[in-house]
Amino acid sequence: MTTVATLQYSHTLGFMANQGRGFNNPVDLAIDSEGMIFVLNRAGPEVGVRIAYKRITRCTSDEQYLGEFGGGGTGDGGLWWPSSLAFDREDRLYVADEALNRISVFGRDGGYLGKWGVGGAETGQFNRPSSIVFDRDDNLLVADSLNHRVQRYTKEGEMLQQWGEFGDGDGQFNLPWGLALDAGGNVYVSDWRNDRIQKFDADGAHLASFGSSGKGDGQFSRPSGLAVDGQGNIIVADWGNERVQMLDEDGAFMASFRGESQDSLWAQDYFSANPDEAAARWSASLEPEIEHRPEYDSHRGYEWERSANVEKLFWGPTSVKIGPDGLVYVVDSLRHRIQIYRPGL
């Protein structure tokens, strides 16, 4: 078996678009059995024409746009604060919504199939489900963020198990965000406000915790989505540090990525159609010198400001997914794109 030492930037998928070809604040993606990519556009705010920007976009990793479905709304099939999506073994698409506290189900053609879920703190209820992933038995794990726990449901919405409570001890959570499984069925949770990753066995027994608060290697600032590759390496969207980190299966730091996006094909099309804007862009410095103002330290952080200025960098990465071809997809939410990496030495 080849040991993956790091990742190499491959290309970028995406373009800012309120509707049609492109994304609008994407927060997650899922890949069906045929390799088609479904990108979840959360968009916002929830007002007027902006509501229509919410949607699910279908495309391929080589940047073919295949259409969109869904849309903003609170009725059946509507999206309001969509947070996460996942395919079951029958290629049905499950979509979690943090505002509506429900799971909606769609066919891969976008047809609406149903919904389940009840908002609340009782057993069998959830409050702002932030991430969903199917386990080896095709049951759905849910990060029940405001209840600080992980839940397991059947595909029909019958609750099977839950674990976790508020706290910072082993097996406790503070507003968990992301979920991932490894090949062995172990469950990884990005424990958002505890700035760490927790690892559980398939039954929810705590195995390990990785990371602490900070900016250093192996430290985290509010980790969001994560994925585990075939070698057991953990790839984490270190949201608050505006980067992606790679840990080995024991949680040891391997590499860090700040982002290096280049223009997607969709972006290149835009500049072909707008040569005056393209000319001004090519003569500009896309990595301007940034003044380190005092408020950056006490506000959202210097790295957040850097990402607001330097387009190639990650800005608000929310999700990491690994495709069947081994490509690593990082959902770069504030830049309306997916930065794609390939395994490398």
Partner 1 sequence: MANAELALMAHLMRRAGFGATRDELETCVEQGYEATVEQLLHPELAPVLDEDLLRRYHVDQNSLMLIESSQAYWLYRIINTQRPLEEKMALFWHSLFATAYGKLNHAKAVVNQTNTFRRCGLGDFRNLLLELSRDPAMIFWLDNKDNHKDAPNENYGRELLELFSMGIGNYTEDDVKACARAFTGWTIANADYMSVRASRDSIWPHGRLDWQFQYLPEDHDDTDKTFLGHTGPFNGEDVIDIICRQPATAWFVASRLYGFFVSDTPNEASIQYLADRFVETDGDIRQVMRALFLSDFFRGDEARLAKVKSPTEIVAGTARLAGSHQFPDWTIVNLAMDVSFMGQEILNPPTVEGWHTGREWIDTGNLVERVNASSLEMGNLGQPGVQAALRRVRAAGDALAPEQLVDACLEAVGQFEVAQATRESLVSHAAKDGVLEFGERGSADCAESRIAELLQLIVATREYQLA
Q: Which residues bind partner 1 (CB under 8 A)?
A: 14-16, 25, 27, 42-47, 50, 80-81, 98-99, 128, 175, 177, 192-193, 222, 224, 239-240, 261, 263-264, 266-267, 270-271, 274, 276-277, 280-281, 283-286, 288-291, 293-295, 298-300, 305, 308-309, 311, 315-316, 318, 333-337
Q: Nearest approach, Cβ of 16 to partner 1 (angstroms)?
A: 5
Q: Nearest approach, Cβ of 50 to partner 1 (angstroms)?
A: 7
Q: Nearest approach, Cβ of 252 to partner 1 (angstroms)?
A: 26
Q: Which long-range contacts (CB under 8 A, 24 or more apart) does 249-257 make?
A: 249/182, 250/208, 251/197, 251/199, 251/208, 251/209, 251/210, 251/211, 251/218, 252/218, 253/217, 253/218, 254/5, 254/6, 255/5, 255/6, 255/7, 256/217, 257/7, 257/9, 257/314, 257/341
Q: Inter-axis angle of helices 275-282 and 265-273, to 10 degrees? A: 110
Q: What are the tokens at 252?
A: 């040891």
Identify which of residues 104 and 264 has a Cβ nearer to partner 1 in the complex: 264
Q: Nearest approach, Cβ of 337 to partner 1 (angstroms)?
A: 6
CA 156 from centroid of its chain's CA atoms:
24
- How far is residue 287 from each of residues 238, 302, 311, 313, 334, measured CA to CA in Å? 22, 15, 8, 10, 17
Identify which of residues 34 and 276 has a Cβ nearer to partner 1 in the complex: 276
Identify which of residues 94 and 192 has a Cβ nearer to partner 1 in the complex: 192
Identify which of residues 154 and 262 has a Cβ nearer to partner 1 in the complex: 262
CB 197 within 8 A of CB 226: yes
Identify which of residues 77 and 240 has a Cβ nearer to partner 1 in the complex: 240
- How far is residue 323 from each of residues 57, 73, 123, 133, 191, measured CA to CA in Å? 17, 30, 34, 14, 24
CB 328 within 8 A of CB 318: no
Q: Nearest approach, Cβ of 239 to partner 1 (angstroms)?
A: 8
Q: Nearest approach, Cβ of 317 to partner 1 (angstroms)?
A: 11
CB 144 within 8 A of CB 129: yes
Identify which of residues 89 and 293 has a Cβ nearer to partner 1 in the complex: 293
Q: Nearest approach, Cβ of 282 to partner 1 (angstroms)?
A: 9
Q: What are the tokens at 228?
A: 């585990």
CB 134 within 8 A of CB 140: yes
Identify which of residues 81 and 163 has a Cβ nearer to partner 1 in the complex: 81
Q: Nearest approach, Cβ of 18 to partner 1 (angstroms)?
A: 9
Q: Nearest approach, Cβ of 334 to partner 1 (angstroms)?
A: 4
- The Cα–Cα gap between 243 and 307 comes to 10
- Look up tokens 């073994």; give the residue: 89
Identify which of residues 207 and 286 has a Cβ nearer to partner 1 in the complex: 286
Identify which of residues 104 and 130 has a Cβ nearer to partner 1 in the complex: 130
